[in-house]
Amino acid sequence: MTDGADTGAPAGRAASATVTVAGLATSRGFAAGPAFVYSKDSVLSVPEYAIPDSAVDAEIARYRAARAETRRQVEELVAKFKSDTDGLASDVLSNHLLLVDDPTADAAVERRISVEHLNAEAAIRHTADDFRAIFAKMRDPYLRERQRDVEDVENRLLRVLLDRGESAFDRISKPVVVVADDLTPSETVTLPRDLILGFATNRGSTTSHVALLARALGIPAVVGLGDVTSRVQPGDFLLLDGTKGAVTVNPDEQARAAFDALARRERELRAQLVENRAASGAAPAVRLCANAQPGVSLADLSAYGAQGIGLYRSEYLWLGGAADPGEEEQTAAYVEAARAAAQLGDGARVVFRALDIGGDKVQRGQHPYEANPFLGNRSIRFLLSHRDVFRTQLRAILRASAQGPSSVMFPMVATVQELREANNELRRAMDALAAEGVPFDEHIPHGVMVEVPSAALNADAFARECDFFSIGTNDLVQYTMAADRANERVSYLYQPANPAVVKLVDMAVGAARAAGIPVSVCGESASDPVLGVLWVGLGVTELSMSASYIPAVRKTLQAVSADEARDLAERVRGYGSSRSAAEIYADCRALVVSKVPQLGEMQSFLTAG
């Protein structure tokens, strides 16, 4: 057990009983360490008392000093995150500055102190409550989400007044596993990244902000753990398995030692892979790109040797708070990505995916109830029924294409007619910009995500009307196997190596090759070296994945020759439907492990197939 200063553990408290909690594996890897239980409530408990007339001036002065200090802290953070080129952080923090400076809130707090004779902490609390209540009633989801900003600023002011340090996370001075209900974007961006061993959260999905950040940074994470915060106490020792999706609280010595050794070895091997990225071995013939979203910094991508951004999940501009980000806001974010991509080496580009909203990625209050949202008005279906949103986004992407090499692709296309409609919208957006004299790349490649079985089955027809394919295996597996990708109860059906899925990938790749267009895989399966080799053997020309997985895939593709990968794919084709997903995966795994023995040891890199 560690001391309370690092984890908030009260001295002399008995540790929780040993228990294992299951959740969603969201960022692979192992973490072992003390729990830092992040609870908003403990930060928020404030004293309330009446002050005498004679103390009013001093109390107002106390409040003003706290406000000035809060402003200083937020400005410091804005400056810090500007230099980290982390757009998301500065957006969140700029909102905080506006709130700190809000004259109505300021007058309300001072009035409560001078007229109601409340202490400064209680005056702030009541004023923040009023503001939260106003925002809570807003129809606009962006404004409703501002409640979180109010909470953040309120906490910061109260911490200054109560002398509690800048943030709950400031108490972290040793490596910890963060246990929380969920983390807001503003909480996530201010975490001391170097000291986080892993994340375990009650809520959240594999596409939540903390999940994406964890994967981009290579930090193991398990989300959707239900009530893990009530089962873990600060300082409890945790084993977090981000590959299986489990957290063990206070394991016995033996389990702890075994897991510890595994986690340490895994970290060593990962570090070697990252360090060796430029070393021996021919560059793989396929391009290895990163999946990214607004807010991921260029540094995070280049550290792992990404050769471009193969999938830019634009929907995070919508999910991050803004109801409908306007053309200017979108253009600014896309330009940042296009410029970042240009710096990732020869031929690097960013592939902007048009808004993939719906399914589990919903903008609060914006989507009418649907019984089966994954089969509902999602992605291209949403865009074609909200043409104004689609047009604004295409204009922003086109404007960014003048600033750096860019492509655009349409998600969840099920019919050629949908693709034609999307192509028409792209053409119209180009014509409009040309008429306005706004520069853009007139030859911007436009592609289709192959993630619905109908698109794979009819891939030849799609290939005639687009410039590239990108196979989204996350959804292709979900729709082929009829297994909700976010439901751990049917996760046994989540089989990228199932012969049905392999056949669909093969059909899409075959159609792309016949039409002479490139084809990538940008689903999570691309980050598993075993499946990566199979996809390359089938003829895929690019793999795009969470950045931290690139080194292991690169190492594998340096060790396995193109001929070996092709032979493997031929063998798997030959199996037809006669082998199970597990057998196909085992076959591919044997080749990979024979070539890169250290991957056999690195359990977190190879999935169950």
Q: Give catalytic residue positions.
A: 209, 522
Which option in Mg ion, ligand PEP, none does residue 523 bind, with CB closer than 5 to 8 A by kind?
ligand PEP
Name the 3-class secondary structure at 100: helix
Edge-to-edge strand ranges of the sheet holding 24-27: 19-22, 246-249, 237-241, 30-38, 176-180, 196-201, 221-223, 24-27
- Please report the sign of the dihedral spanned by the C-alpha atoms of residue 393, residue 399, residue 400, residue 405: positive
Stretch that binds ligand PEP, among 99-107, 242-250, 470-478, 553-561 (CB under 6 A): 470-478
Site for ligand PEP in 501-560 (CB under 6 A): 522-523
We find the least distance from the C-beta atom of residue 319 to ligand PEP, in angstroms, to be 11
469 with 490: CB under 8 angstroms?
no
What is the separation, in whole angstroms, between the first and last Cα of the chain? 37
Cα–Cα distance for residue pair 557/281, rounded to 1 Å: 9
Q: Give the closest residue to 451 by CA, choosing from 422, 492, 410, 498.
A: 410
Pick the binder of Mg ion from 266, 475, 506, 528 (CB under 5 A).
475
CA distances from 64 to 60, 119, 320, 372, 480 (A): 6, 13, 31, 51, 60
How many residues of this chain interact with ligand PEP, rule: CB under 6 A? 10
Q: Do 532 and 543 form a contact (C-beta atoms < 8 A)?
A: yes
553 binds, among Mg ion, ligand PEP, none (CB under 5 to 8 A by kind): none
Q: Which is nearer to Mg ion, 266 or 528 (CB)?
A: 528
* Nearest-approach distance from CB 16 to ligand PEP, in angstroms: 35
Task: Considering only residues 346 through 405, tell me which ones interact with ligand PEP, judged by CB under 6 A.
Answer: 356
- With CB cut-offs between 5 and 8 Å by kind, which of Mg ion, ligand PEP, none does residue 204 bind? none
Interface pick for ligand PEP out of 208, 363, 407, 473 (rule CB under 6 A): 473
Q: Compare residues 293 and 406 and give the one whose CB is closer to ligand PEP.
A: 293
Contact 189, 92 (CB under 8 A): yes
DSSP 301-358: HHTTT--SEEEEETTHHHHTS-SS--HHHHHHHHHHHHHHHHTT-TT--EEEEP---B
Is residue 532 near Mg ion by the rule CB under 5 A? no
The binder of ligand PEP chosen from 293, 297, 474, 498 (CB under 6 A): 474
Nearer to Mg ion, 418 or 475 (CB): 475
What count of residues does the chain have?
A: 609
Restricting to residues 299-328, name those near ligand PEP by CB under 6 A. 311, 313
From residue 394, give the alpha-carbon distance in Å to each of 153, 340, 410.
Answer: 35, 19, 11
Closest approach of ligand PEP to the CB of residue 592, in Å: 21
Place of tokens 């204009």: 395
Q: How far is the CB of 475 from ligand PEP (least distance, A)?
A: 3
Q: Which position among 472, 518, 532, 537 is part of the footprint of Mg ion (CB under 5 A)?
A: 472
∠ CA 347-532-584, rounded to 5°: 160
DSSP class of residue 14 equals: P
Query: Nearer to Mg ion by C-beta: 233 or 291?
Result: 291
Residues 6+ apart with CB under 8 A from 423: 446, 465, 466
Choose the contact partner of 473 out of Mg ion, ligand PEP, none; CB within 5 to 8 A by kind.
Answer: ligand PEP
Between 172 and 216, whose beta carbon lies closer to ligand PEP? 216
Single residue of 181, 241, 266, 475 touching ligand PEP by CB under 6 A: 475
Interaction mask 413-452, Mg ion, x per CB under 5 A: --------------------------------------x-
For the bound state, the minimum distance from the C-beta of residue 207 to ligand PEP, rounded and expressed in Å, comes to 7
Selected range binding ligand PEP among 54-62, 165-173, 324-332, 467-475, rule: CB under 6 A: 467-475
Q: Taking CB under 5 A as the criterion, which residues in 451-470 touch Mg ion?
A: 451
Evaluate whether 176 touches 34 at the Cβ level (below 8 Å): yes
CB of 92 to ligand PEP, least distance (A): 22
Residue closer to Mg ion (CB basis): 151 or 451: 451
In the Cβ-directed half-sphere of 291, how many Cα atoms lie within 13 Å? Answer: 28
SS3 250: coil
Q: How many residues bind Mg ion (CB under 5 A)?
A: 3
- The Cα-based distances of 71 to 86, 131, 166, 482, 579 in angstroms read 20, 19, 12, 51, 63
**Which residues in 340-490 belong to E strands, given as ranges?**
350-353, 406-410, 446-450, 468-471
Stretch that binds ligand PEP, among 127-135, 159-167, 253-261, 473-481 (CB under 6 A): 473-481
- Whichever of 440 and 479 has its CB closer to Mg ion, that residue is 479
Q: C-beta of 485: minimal distance to ligand PEP in Å?
A: 8
Of 76-84, 260-268, 473-481, 512-520, the segment contacting Mg ion by CB under 5 A is 473-481
Taken in order 407, 413, 416, 422, is the CA torsion positive or negative?
negative
> Per rule CB under 5 A, is residue 315 in the interface with Mg ion?
no
Q: Could you say which of 204, 325, 472, 609 contacts ligand PEP (CB under 6 A)?
A: 472
Q: To the nearest whole angstrom, how small is the minimum distance from the Cβ of residue 354 to Mg ion? A: 12
With binding defined as CB under 6 A, does residue 451 bind ligand PEP?
A: yes
Q: In angstroms, what is the minimal distance from the CB of 521 to ligand PEP?
A: 8
Which amino acid belongs to residue 262?
L
> 320 or 472: whose CB is closer to ligand PEP?
472
Site for ligand PEP in 327-356 (CB under 6 A): 356
CA–CA gap between residue 511 and residue 505 (Å, rounded): 10
Positions touching ligand PEP (CB under 6 A) are: 311, 313, 356, 451, 472-475, 522-523
Positions touching Mg ion (CB under 5 A) are: 451, 472, 475
